Amino acid sequence: MLRDLTGEVAWITGAGTGIGESGAIKLAEAGCKVILSGRRTAPLENVAAQIAGDVTIEPLDVSDHDDVMAVAERIIGKYGRIDIGVFSAGINIKDRNWPVVSIDDWNSVINIDLNGAFYCCQAVLPSMRKNGGGVIINVSSMAAKNIGMLTGPAYHAAKHAMNAMNASLIVEERNNGIRATALCPGEVATPILEQRPVPVSAEDQARILQSEDLGEVIKFIAQQPEHVTLNEILINPTWNRFQQ
């Protein structure tokens, strides 16, 4: 039986667009009190306007460890706990492949996609331990499972490391009641596609995964009974536009 999420406190990063936005809306619909974090305030306000329940906006750059800890402390100060963490903040870059990727761009991807997720996990664990459990959902990628030209070395490295980090989190924290999932989607029609070196057509975007699909999966993960951990979930569009 799926859990009732009414009243649970859910912190979502990357909540202004895409997967984070949809996850926040779906968790709010399920009865969660949601905290929306992202680098830009205007998109967060747009998402908050779509939520009828308890919603708080906490602008945040997840690559800043001090800011991550400060936001977590404010959430706990207001709500007393964090039950669900959905860590969806992520970027990629246009000049991403070996011949062109710069040191600054490499560092930006690693600092946001990997370090940011680690900082957020680290920030919520004390509250979850104290309260006897919690759910962490690290939004990873099929780039963590396969190697190809499309995503570039920085994104591949960050997402492979995220999955390893998530697995370590399960091993060390499961007996504290803390569950963690690495959610690994294939192509999703989100704004990150705008950073592709080759644009994805509107027709193709309509045939791949949609943000709402991932929002439903995020809600499903959070609703699992406390004795169930979904270590990794792989999800792909049925139509594979790379097949020849």
**Which position among 37, 155, 211, 219 bears the catalytic label?**
155
Going 29 to 33 to 38 to 42, the CA torsion angle's sign is positive
- Answer whether 195's CB lies under 8 Å from 224's CB: no
**Which position among 26, 33, 159, 219 bears the catalytic label?**
159
Chain centroid offset of residue 105 CA: 20
Give residues with Cβ within 8 angstroms of 134, minimum separation 6: 82, 83, 84, 85, 124, 127, 128, 177, 178, 179
- Answer whether 181's CB lies under 8 Å from 166's CB: yes
**Which position among 37, 88, 127, 140 bears the catalytic label?**
140
H/E stretch holding 136:
strand 134-139
Going 53 to 112 to 187 to 224, the CA torsion angle's sign is negative
Return the amino acid letter for 118.
F
Cα→Cα distances 114→10, 55, 100, Å: 20, 26, 21
Instruction: Return the beta strands (E) in 43-95 as ranges.
Output: 55-57, 84-87
Tokens 């895409």 label which residue? Answer: 18
Hey, what's the torsion of the CAs at 93, 123, 13, 98, to 10 degrees? 10
Q: Is 155 marked active-site?
A: yes
Q: Which residues are catalytic?
A: 140, 155, 159
